[in-house]
Chains A and B, each alone.
Chain A
Amino acid sequence: MQISLDALIVLAPLITAAVAGLLQRYIGDRVTMTLTTASVGLSLALSWPIFIDFVWGEGVVRVTELLPFIHVGDFQSTWSVRIDTMSAIMLVVVNTVSFLVHLYSWGYMADDPHRARFFSYLSFFTFAMLSLVTANDFLQLFFGWEGVGVASYLLIGFWYQKRSANDAAIKAFVTNRVGDFGFALGIMAVFYLLGTIQFFPTDAAHPALFSGFVNGVEVHGLLHNLEGVNLAVGSLSAPAAEVCAVLLFIGAMGKSAQFFLHVWLPDAMEGPTPVSALIHAATMVTAGVFMVCRLGELYHMAPIASGIVTIVGATTALFAATVGLAQNDIKRVVAYSTCSQLGYMFFAAGVGAYNAAMFHLFTHAFFKALLFLGAGSVIHGMHHEQDMRYMGGVRKPMPITWAMMTIGTFALIGFGIPGLGGFAGFYSKDAIIEAAYGSHGMGAQFAFWCGITAALLTSFYSWRLAFMTFEGKFRPNPDAHHDDHGHADDHGPAAHHSHGHAKHADGTAPAHESPLVMLIPLFVLAFGAIAAGFIFAPYFLGHHAGEFWDHVIPFHEGHHDFPTWVLWAPLIVTVTGFVLAVIFYLWKPGAAKAMAGGPVWAFLYNKWYFDEIYDFIFVKGARALGDLFWKVGDKRLIDGLGPDGVAAASNFFSRQVRRLQTGFVYHYSFIMLIAAVAFGAYAILAGIGGGR
């Protein structure tokens, strides 16, 4: 019975997504929304007991094998649902946020004529994400990986009438494909080297990557076969484990928007805000972190690849935080913040603190979903205004949203007193910074300093967001149709509220508090943002961690004797960031405006010009190359020298000789004759030689 319930967690959202997708015209919006929400609710209800069992009970590791997917020789993938500590964590993260987002969307999408389609996409996404996290082999992981990608594509481009939304959707998909290029090659490399793509054994005859028990008998993993093996391509040769780890990490970089492949995430904010909260903050973008942790043993064997993970993660953490400083769009600030926090998770994994990475993934899901849904609530309340320059004074009309977002902000900046306790982010982020400090791995010290600096910036941009939105006086948009600044405007074609920003005399914003169905998810997430840290820290990080992780990821008891300044540094920079934000955005708002004109600001505002550079190199490059191959290669060279040339020459020839009026047939008869003669001659000569 347990076994079939495991499968139901994954399949329930699929079934309702299919029903909703196919029958929405016949069953109507309300039934569609109810069905999809209920199915994710069911998955949620089934997931928490499993997780609680792994935390406080005797979690049973198990695999449900449903059907063969692809079985060709040793290349074997089976549709499975694997339950262990890792997937139990992800199940509650995915289902909790997904359920709350479904609920929230009842309010947020209430006016959208396509909301049935929206809900079916949401459920499909949930299914794909669940199949990703419960995979027992690379191919199902890849299936889920691409499945969430296509769900993301559909949801970013949900308002398909907007060109910018469509472009953002394609950008997200193609950038992810660049990552998948590495991911797919990584899978091939693993198979080539080890002859298996399965993670844990389910059959004594077929060993997998990692060790595991089959009917109580331990089957040893093949991963250690990579030890000392080199993978050679031509004259180049590199340690096999490093090559696999780096290739797979490229996939993670795409999915989790890490430096170089981060460009799609901010644009993904074109999608409806609930989507941003679910996919582009709490779940899908963390898939890369999940994969690296799932393959922790591989990365453990690959110090250089781990160093690359550390450096890329740390760079992203810092880079995204700098860009977040200068954005005016409320969602973009949160998006860059997500990018930055994912960087933290990666460098934690890079320095070997997989447990800290997973813990930050866990806590981040709560507070980042909270911030996004809070931002959505503001946008909803402000009649789809999302430029913070035209906000201010929102606290008074939206006190509940303000309170919830303030909790989210405290959790994001990781506020807490060492030795006493704090918000959720405090436990996970400090653990990451300490792990970096204590590690001797490649890039670990760089990561430590990036982490500290990014913490300062995080605090600053978070409070900047809070102050610009909620405090001060309302600043109405001078241009009613504010489409000129090229921002993601979160209003669908169907959701045209009036743009009348009647200026209230007392300087409060013309906003209204969101309905209860949107606020309840905020309450639940706020509870998580406050409590998820101190409840679960002993299991993810502390003295129960050895039992909790139970060899699912490499876990080493860290040392706890960090210098005092390391323990207190995060708090100090966080408070500094707060004070700076107070100075710039509450006391002396003029200073911020003056700074906004400078070149550094422009550099940050334009995201280090990544989009422009990529557009020049890749988009224009692909176009130019395509034109070259087509117009010069195919038309002029191949056709010109080939059929057209032959036809022209043949026409010329026929005109000369006159008798060959129709050219072609004679031409080819001629070739046939020549060839026949040549082969005949060859056959005879070869025949004389005895045929062989």
Chain B
Amino acid sequence: MSELVAGWPILTIVTFLPAAGALLILLARVSARGENVGYDNGVKLLALLITIATFIASLVAFAGFDFRNPGYQLQESIPWAFGMSYAMGVDTLAMSLVMLTTFLMPICILASWVIEKQVSSYMVLFLILETLMIGVFCAQDIILFYVFFEAGLIPMFILIGVWGGERRVYAAFKFFLYTLLGSLLMLVAIIYMIAVTGTSNIPELTVYAQTTGFGADVQIWLWLAFFASFAVKMPMWPVHTWLPDAHVEAPTAASVVLAAILLKMGGYGFLRFSLPMFPDASHFFTPFVFALSVVAIVWASLVAFRQLDMKKLIAYSSVAHMGFVTMGIFSGNEQGIQGAIFQMLSHGIISGALFLCVGVVYDRMHTREIAFYGGLVNRMPVYAAVFMLFTMGNVGLPGTSGFPGEILTMVGAFQVNALVAAGAALGVIFSAAYALTLYRKVAFGTIENPKLDKMADLDAREWVQFLPLIIATLIMGLAPTYVLDFTQNSALTIVSQFAGATP
């Protein structure tokens, strides 16, 4: 299969195709005299085509990828200054996250059809953001990784700050501050690692860490520096409070990207760096991470129960679901890590879909206040059915993609510490309470608010944006084994790297 893409820098193409598209839109704007509605629609269509092309390119990469091979594949490398290089490559973990990203982006562009303010700038930022996100997962050089990782902040910061809601500036700064603080500590650690090992290549660093190894006490510091960054990105308790604010103010598609992909960078970072490179420190900090994970699950679920704003509720439920991810990762066994990866992919789809569900009613009524709604099923039966499916996914119902990740991470954690699994299982009860209560308040009952009387059901565009997510949720729920088989090699590699630690 890999002959298909032999000699082609396919990862570079996938990564930079959106950026090239962004450039195209910029050039077009320079040459165009003024913007109007027709022009805006052209830009939207162009952005959609670019993201679809990117998805197709990623499918080509996928076809040239052999999931039975546990190593990095589709590698490219161009030497650069100071021993650094432009190196790209993916293993099954990275590949699955790249696919998630390229799969979701066309849906995000569709969801952005309602944007009317500065359309070209918006689309340019979105496309650049896509490049940066894919780059994070493909980068094989730690400096390159860092650049992608950090640069992604900027478009998201602007998207929230310009196209956001009323308190967008507060939210944007809070988002920026939290994530930047963590990142800077990570940068220092990266510089130290390069100084000690003389390489910035991630596979080489991993080999160094697994053979020579960083000293036990050095690992502690390095681990903490990386942790500061990844924990904020996840987000883990207690550095989670930026997320609800950012979500509430962000435009719908930015929320989708934030929840579905940006949050996954934290989990990806733990799996790519913390566990393989600092296994001793990871062992040392496992109880700490477990404690934070369980607190996140219980705390965020209870807080979600009390929210009055739909987006805030879903944001808090994201915090709880990410608690399962960190718990699974640090359980360090096959079930835990497979579950964590699966949970990341599934959460990308389900939380993305839930934010789209909020977007549908927000676009019509311009409020996210739960109490404003009620009885929507009477006017929007199709929407109600779609929303129900994703609510059930959020609850982790078996048969939806929400289930395998939750159960596997708990199974993984149970083997290390039964009490941690028990604490996490409490979240399973709470999630039912808050998600179904939200659904009842929004969809069930009779229409009390006369403004809702004219609500129209899903239109064709909304249908198209939900359909792939519905299919993905059900397939991943009923036959998760295909995804799990795909990610198995990466998971097993990480398990063995983590197990190599001297406890």
User: Which residues of A does B touch, CB under 8 Å?
Assistant: 67-73, 75, 139, 142-143, 146-147, 150, 153, 157, 160-161, 163, 166-167, 169-170, 173-174, 177-178, 180-181, 184-185, 187-189, 191-192, 231, 233-234, 622-623, 625-627, 629-630, 633-635, 638-639, 642-643, 646-647, 664, 668, 671-672, 675-676, 679-680, 682-683, 686-687, 691-692
Contact = CB atoms under 8 A, between A and B. Distances in A.
Interface of B: 173-174, 177-178, 180-181, 184-185, 187-189, 191-192, 195-196, 212-215, 218, 221, 225, 238-239, 241-242, 299, 302-307, 333-335, 338-339, 375, 377-378, 392, 397-399, 404, 407-408, 410-411, 414-415, 418-419, 421-422, 425-426, 428-430, 432-433, 436-437, 440, 443-446, 478-481, 484-485, 488
A643 B171 CA distance: 11
A664 B414 CA distance: 43
Given A70-B404, A181-B426, A188-B421, A150 B410 contact: no
A173 B445 contact: no
Contacts of B181: 668, 671
A160 B377 contact: yes
B196 A69 contact: no
B196 A683 contact: yes
A70 B421 contact: no
For B303, B338, B415, which residue has the most chain A Cβ atoms within 10 angstroms? B303
A626 B410 contact: no
A170 B433 contact: yes
A173 B440 CA distance: 13
Contacts of A692: 212-215, 218
B432 A623 contact: no
A192 B420 CA distance: 14
7 contacts: A69-B478, A69-B480, A71-B484, A72-B334, A188-B418, A622-B430, A635-B241
Contacts of A682: 192, 221
B440 A622 contact: no
A315 B254 CA distance: 54
For A629, A634, A672, which residue has the most chain B Cβ atoms within 10 angstroms? A629
A184 B481 contact: no
Contacts of A679: 188-189, 191-192, 221, 225
B410 to A, nearest CB: 6
Contacts of B334: 72-73
B429 A177 contact: yes
Contacts of B415: 192
A167 B429 CA distance: 16
A233 B433 CA distance: 28
A629 B338 contact: no
B398 A147 contact: yes
A634 B241 contact: yes
A587 to B, nearest CB: 47
Given A184-B428, A675-B184, 8 more contacts: A75-B411, A177-B428, A188-B414, A626-B305, A642-B239, A643-B177, A679-B189, A692-B213
A687 B445 contact: no
B215 A643 contact: no
B479 A67 contact: yes
Given A180-B428, A638-B238, A683-B195, A142 B303 contact: no
A89 B379 CA distance: 44
A671 to B, nearest CB: 7
B408 A192 contact: no
Nearest to B481: A68
A167 B415 CA distance: 37
B184 A668 contact: yes
A684 to B, nearest CB: 9
Contacts of A142: 398, 407
B493 to A, nearest CB: 14
Contacts of A664: 173, 177
A178 B399 CA distance: 19
Contacts of A192: 411, 414-415, 418
Nearest to A233: B418
Given A170-B436, A192-B414, A623-B306, A671 B428 contact: no
Contact of A71 (B189, B241, B481): B481
Contacts of B335: 72-73, 75
For A70, A139, A233, which residue has the most chain B Cβ atoms within 10 angstroms? A70
Nearest to A144: B398
Contact of B242 (A643, A671, A687): A643
Contact of B184 (A623, A639, A671): A671
Nearest to A128: B399
Contact of A683 (B177, B192, B429, B433): B192
In the A-B complex, the 10 residue pairs with the closest CB atoms: A626-B306, A188-B414, A626-B302, A692-B215, A143-B398, A68-B481, A679-B188, A630-B303, A160-B444, A672-B184
